[in-house]
Structures are given as structure tokens and as C-alpha cells.
């Protein structure tokens, strides 16, 4: 390898509990998974040139990037968004992208690509700064006003742990995943909607906050003061989900896995009924997983409208899907 050779890998993530809370500064508990996006190549003068194992068309982007959202092929927008955010600090690279993260399954393949690209292009800074840059890159690339959960989990992952993230302060508290439990992920269906429904939820939460103030500070009594029934349900999901994240964390630390599993099921019901980000197929998959002896609990995970179910199971329990373990966050390897 020449001295300019680079090899970067960034894991995917699954969220154990705390969905649709990050963009209101709430609590989340995601963990990295042992599937990675890898960029291998070299730093060069000139343009970014990347081929991808999972895509037909290679990417060629001249620096500086002006309009990341207009880049073709579209997978390259995530890389271009990162380059645009890095400005003059972005080095050109030539190389290959490969991934073992299922694409479009709700396991943050796009966030992993952003984080890997930023490190490949020469980003230097803290995991938090890396995540903030990649979140802005995602906004530029896809127009989806995502929160920081995915990028921060991928940038800051700790082997053997989920991360309790306070999305208001960006503080990170690793929560050990003990050996007697296993996290399973089952892919159920491709997401049915683009970012539009996600953006609507972000707007609805902002509308609720305009009435009662920050949802991260609110309690259920305050939520009841919202007159509009739809906004009240959206706010109730966020406020109760924040509490479930706290309770789930306490249960995991106490080894109270039955309690933790119930909290996952209640989280799913809240996403289904109050936040309306599930689908009948996802609901059926959660119910089927939860009915298996040895499964403590299950829920949809991530943005919703399809994607994956995550389960917490007694070690050794056969279930559909695959067992995942939390790994270290993204790294520049060479
Ligand atoms: C997507 C977004 C995250 C988060 C989840 C829902 O994964 O990228 O920021 O909002 O949905 O919890």
C-alpha cells in the first residue's frame, strides 16, 4: 500500500428503544451492530472517485461540491454531502465501497456511508463533531431532517455496549449488554415512504412544542393540555418514550429483562398508535417475535414505515433474523 492508502470502516446500528425522540432533544438507546461499510482506497489529487460493490454506477465528484442533492448516481449524494460540509478540508479519494449492512432496511446504511466517507476524506475531530457534520450531510443529501442518533451511535460506538444518548446535551452513557441476553434483528419489509412522512412527524413535534414548550421537559399532564388530538398523541409518544428509555436502561442494568421486554412492547404500541410510524406487517412481525418462548420483547426500530424488528432474547433462543453484537464505532484503520 502507498503511504496515502486508506481503509475506513463504519458499523450499522439498531435502536433498542427511544425512537422519534432524538430531534426533540430526547433520549435514545441505540447500539452499533457487527456489520460494516468499508471504504478502501487512496488519497489523490483531483476528484472523488468511488465504485460500490452494491451499486451499478460509480461515483465521480469534483471538489468543491456545490449541490450534493443533485449528484448522480444518487447513492453518491451521501458522500457528496459530507464533502460539501467539509469544504476545503475534504481530500479527494479514489477507491471502493463495500458493505455488509442491508441497504434501505432501517439499519443506518446511509449514516454509515456518511461517517465512513468523512473519515476517508480526512475528517479530524471528536466523534460528536463527526456525527454533527454527518447529520448535516444527510440533510443536504436527502433533505430528510433526521436527528443525530444514527450518526452519533456509529461514530461513538463502544464494543459490548448500547449508548444512552441525551440528544439535548449529546452526552453518552454506555450501557453494557450482558452475555445472558442477545439482541436479534429481523428484516421485515422495505420502507414504504420516502422522508416526507418523517418530515411531517418532525413538524408535528415542533407544533406541539410551540404549545407546551420542549417535549424533553414535558410530563403527561402537560401533554394533556394540548387540545388538538393528533398533536397530543404525537407529544404523548415522545414524552412516554423518553421515560421508557430511562426505565429500560435501569432494567438492563438490574438484569430485569422481562421488564425491559415489556417496555419494548409498549414502545412499539406507542409508535403504532400514537406516532403512527408502524405498518400492519411490522405489527405482525413484532407480535410473532414476542410470542416465541425466550423472547423478552420486540419492537419496530428506527424511522419506521417498514424496516426491521429488534428483539431482546434469552441467550440461545432460536428466532428469525440474525443475532447482532455491539462493536466499536467508526475507525480509520490505515
Ligand atoms: C431515523 C433518523 C433518526 C431517528 C430515527 C427514529 O433513523 O435518522 O435520527 O429520528 O429515524 O428514531
Nearest-CA residue for ligand 1 atom 1 is 303
Residue 196's contacts (CB-CB under 8 Å, 6 or more residues apart) are none
- Is the pLDDT reported for residue 3 higher than 70? no
Nearest-CA residue for ligand 1 atom 9 is 147
pLDDT classification of 191: cutoffs 50, 70, 90 = confident
Q: Is the CB of 77 under 6 A from ligand 1?
A: no
The lowest-confidence range among 16-20, 81-85, 190-194 is 190-194
* Ligand 1 atom closest to residue 303's alpha carbon, by position in its atom list: 11
Q: Is the CB of 276 under 6 A from ligand 1?
A: no
- Is the pLDDT reported for residue 236 higher than 70? yes
Question: If you average pLDDT over residues 71-85, what whole number do you get?
Answer: 97
How far is 283 from 252, CA to CA, in rounded Å?
24
- Judged on CB neighbours under 10 Å (0-12, 13-18, 19+), 128 is middle
Q: According to the model, what pLDDT value does residue 193 have?
A: 66
| Contact in structure between 192 and 204 (CB atoms under 8 Å) | no
Question: If you average pLDDT over residues 55-78, what whole number do you get?
Answer: 96
Nearest-CA residue for ligand 1 atom 8 is 146
How far is 156 from 200, CA to CA, in rounded Å?
29
Catalytic residue among 150, 247, 273, 274: 150
Q: Is the CB of 329 under 6 A from ligand 1?
A: no
How far is 9 from 17, CA to CA, in rounded Å?
25
What is the 157 CA–ligand 1 centroid distance (Å)?
Answer: 16
Q: Is the CB of 20 under 6 A from ligand 1?
A: yes
The CA distances from residue 52 to 28, 60, 242, 320, 329, in Å, are: 31, 12, 38, 29, 22
Q: Is the CB of 146 under 6 A from ligand 1?
A: yes
Q: According to the model, what pLDDT value does residue 1 have?
A: 44
Residue indicated by cell numbers 441505540: 30
pLDDT classification of 195: cutoffs 50, 70, 90 = confident
What is the 143 CA–ligand 1 centroid distance (Å)?
Answer: 13
Q: Is the CB of 275 under 6 A from ligand 1?
A: no
Question: If you average pLDDT over residues 257-285, what whole number do you get?
Answer: 98
328 is catalytic: no
What are 282-334's pLDDT values in tens digits? 999 999 999 999 999 999 999 999 999 999 999 999 999 999 999 999 999 87
Q: Which three cell numbers stand for residue 32?
A: 452499533
Amino acid at each position: 500500500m502507498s503511504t496515502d492508502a486508506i481503509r475506513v470502516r463504519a458499523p450499522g446500528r439498531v435502536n433498542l428503544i427511544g425512537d422519534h425522540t432524538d430531534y426533540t432533544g430526547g433520549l435514545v438507546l441505540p447500539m452499533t451492530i457487527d456489520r460494516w461499510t468499508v471504504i478502501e482506497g487512496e488519497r489523490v489529487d483531483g476528484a472523488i472517485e468511488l465504485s460500490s460493490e452494491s451499486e451499478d454506477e460509480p461515483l465521480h465528484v469534483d471538489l468543491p461540491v456545490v449541490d450534493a442533492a443533485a449528484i448522480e448516481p444518487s447513492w453518491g449524494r451521501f458522500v457528496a454531502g459530507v464533502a460539501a460540509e467539509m469544504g476545503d478540508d475534504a481530500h479527494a479519494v479514489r477507491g471502493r465501497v463495500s458493505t455488509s449492512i442491508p441497504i434501505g432496511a432501517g439499519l443506518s446504511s446511509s449514516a454509515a456511508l456518511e461517517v465512513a466517507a468523512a473519515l476517508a476524506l480526512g475528517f479530524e475531530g471528536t466523534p460528536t463533531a463527526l456525527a454533527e457534520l454527518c447529520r448535516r450531510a444527510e440533510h443536504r443529501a436527502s433533505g430528510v431532517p433526521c436527528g443525530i442518533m444514527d450518526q452519533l451511535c456509529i461514530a461513538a460506538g463502544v464494543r459490548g455496549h448500547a449508548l444512552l444518548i441525551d440528544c439535548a446535551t449529546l452526552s453518552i452513557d454506555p450501557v453494557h449488554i450482558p452475555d445472558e441476553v442477545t439482541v436479534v434483528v429481523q428484516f421485515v419489509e422495505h420502507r414504504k415512504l420516502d422522508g416526507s412522512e418523517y418530515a411531517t412527524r418532525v413538524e408535528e413535534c415542533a407544533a406541539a412544542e410551540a404549545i407546551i414548550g420542549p417535549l424533553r421537559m414535558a410530563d403527561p399532564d402537560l401533554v394533556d393540555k394540548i387540545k388538538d388530538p393528533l398533536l397530543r398523541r404525537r407529544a404523548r409518544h415522545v414524552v412516554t418514550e423518553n421515560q421508557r428509555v430511562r426505565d429500560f436502561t435501569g432494567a438492563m442494568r438490574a438484569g430485569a429483562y422481562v421488564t425491559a421486554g415489556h417496555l419494548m412492547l409498549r414502545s412499539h404500541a406507542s409508535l403504532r398508535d400514537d406516532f403512527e410510524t408502524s405498518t400492519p406487517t411490522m405489527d405482525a412481525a413484532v407480535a410473532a417475535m414476542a410470542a416465541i418462548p425466550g423472547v423478552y420483547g420486540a419492537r419496530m426500530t428506527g424511522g419506521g414505515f417498514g424496516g426491521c424488528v429488534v428483539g431482546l432474547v434469552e441467550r440461545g433462543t432460536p428466532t428469525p433474523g440474525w443475532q447482532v453484537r455491539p462493536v466499536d464505532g467508526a475507525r480509520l484503520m490505515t
